[in-house]
Structure 1
Amino acid sequence: MRSYAIGDIHGHLDLLKRAHERIAADMAVHGPAPVIHLGDLEDRGPDSRGVIGWLMQGIARGEDWVVLKGNHDRLFTRFLGDPWWEDPGLPRPLNWLHPRVGGAETLASYGVRAPADRPVEAVHADGRAAVDPAHVAFLEALPSHLLRGETLFVHAGIRPGVALAEQTEDDLVWIRQGFLDDARDHGPLVIHGHTSIDAPLHYGNRVNIDSSAAYGGPLTAIAVEGREVFHLTDLGRVPLLPG
């Protein structure tokens, strides 16, 4: 059973299209398979609106794509619902509009000004008016994980030792401590993003493919065959081995 996966996009439509080009080249050799996007479509990058719209259009025309929910996807929609909502995964005093989080860049892609000195209420009102409700509905409906064969796809990770049906969304979109430092076999191989690193790494029980597109790094695409993982490059497949 083959699957493809793409890491955290963060508003980089150009990188997303190139990742899909690498996947298309691999499919031309190995045949079609689902493409799973691990969430964080927006924030920090220049074209969050374009990323969301492009993925929605592809799914609407019948592409075999799955988009999972990341913490930034949740932060975006929750801000539009209530600008004072505090995400339990976001440490104070950070909020979605804080420069470290990147919400202002997302709103800018919709034509909304959100400088730090502008009242939150005004930014919220403009965001509600500018953001396409279809984009909000799309993001709110995203699943938090996908179990496919021997592989579990999820944005951040899982709470080790907890059954999949009992995992919380907070953990699935936010977890680091307790997951990243746990070397036990989780059953399925966990493919995740959320924690930025320089290049995709295979840890044996999990594979992190967030290669820091949010901070100027590349956007990783992989092919997964059973429990074998291949990094897709412009020159083709490169095995991604544990260790």
Structure 2
Amino acid sequence: MTPIYAIGDIHGQKDMLDRALSLIATDGGPDAHVVFLGDYTDRGPDSLAVVQTLIEGKSTGRNWTLLKGNHDRLFSNFVRHGIAHDARIKSGLSWLNSRLGGENTLKSYGIDGQMHFDPHSPPQLERLAHFEGPTGWTDKAGLHLLAQRAVPTAHLDFLDGLPLTFETDDLIFVHAGLRPGIAINDQDIEDLIWIRDGFLDSKHDFGKLVVHGHTAIDYPAHFGNRIDLDGGAGYGRPLVPAVFEGRECWLLTGQGRVALTSD
């Protein structure tokens, strides 16, 4: 049985990505099939280098399957359209807020400065008052223009063109999860990149083991019908890759494979 590897949310952590790829190469060789679960940008220090690494890997023929995450869309929506909010973010935080990570993503593309938010923003809708950069202050429109100039169109085209799911005979890979009781071809796009409620608390048998990220936990875990591989790299915790043979899963460590099983 040919193994398939998976990497959870990277969130701009280039050094962690390099280590994860090294562990996979040691276990499966340079031609290993790797599925990336999305969220390549935001929070970590080097989103630019992560995206560039993934683009170069695909262009050189690496056997990589890359899925889209909600943070990848947040990034693209701001640079392309100046949109800093998403209705799925119930707190109303702006993508530019460091808690969501847009500030660090822009910094990795050379837009370094301080975000100042309007203290009189309406409830549930945080607004940028101004951006304080090395050449002075600018408003959101000015920051949007800086982002359009700094971010290569090729990076946005790459992220925008990524698929949302990938299936094998035994596994369904997706960024956030699935809505129980709905065929995969009928799933809402928003659920595929955002869902938590109704999925994380469900024991539904999806017919295949669901492998996802999106919801950061302390360490990758097996929940019976799903495996969450988002171990919190965006918050500085390790990025731990996994390998699957059928529905069997192992995490890759410096000491080799460690079986990941449900309780």
Please, what TM-score do these two structures have when normalized by structure 2?
0.89
Alignment of 1:206-225 (within 5 A): 206-225=226-245
**2:39 alignment counterpart:** 40
Q: Are 1:113 and 1:123, in contact at CA under 8 Å, matched by a contact in 2?
A: no
> Residue deviations 1:75-109, cap 9 Å, x none?
00011122236422222421210221010100000
Q: Are 1:151 and 1:189, in contact at CA under 8 Å, matched by a contact in 2?
A: yes
Q: Does structure 1 residue 198 correspond to structure 2 residue 218?
A: yes
Alignment of 1:44-193 (within 5 A): 44-84=43-83, 86-117=85-116, 118=131, 119-193=139-213
Q: Does structure 1 residue 4 correspond to structure 2 residue 24?
A: no
**1:241 alignment counterpart:** 261
User: Offset of 1:52 from its aligned partner?
Assistant: 0.2
Give the share of equivalent positions with the same residue, in percent. Answer: 46
Distance in 1 (alpha carbons) for counterparts of 2:112 and 2:24: 36
User: Offset of 1:114 from its aligned partner?
Assistant: 5.0
Distance in 1 (alpha carbons) for counterparts of 2:58 and 2:100: 27
Distance in 1 (alpha carbons) for counterparts of 2:114 and 2:169: 46
Q: Give the paired residue count.
A: 241
User: Offset of 1:184 from its aligned partner?
Assistant: 1.7
Question: Unaligned stretches of 5+ in structure 1?
Answer: none
Paired amino acid for 2:191: D
**2:14 alignment counterpart:** 13
Paired amino acid for 1:64: N
**RMSD between superposed Cα atoms in Å:** 1.3
> Residue deviations 1:195-238, cap 9 Å, x none?
11111100110000101001110001000110000011111111
Which structure is larger by alpha-carbon Rg, 1 or 2?
A: 2
Paired amino acid for 1:172: L
**2:23 alignment counterpart:** 22
Question: Unaligned stretches of 5+ in structure 2?
Answer: 117-130, 132-138
Paired amino acid for 2:204: R
Paired amino acid for 1:98: N
> Residue deviations 1:22-43, cap 9 Å, x none?
1011114xx9431011000010
Q: Secondary structure at the match of 1:58?
A: helix
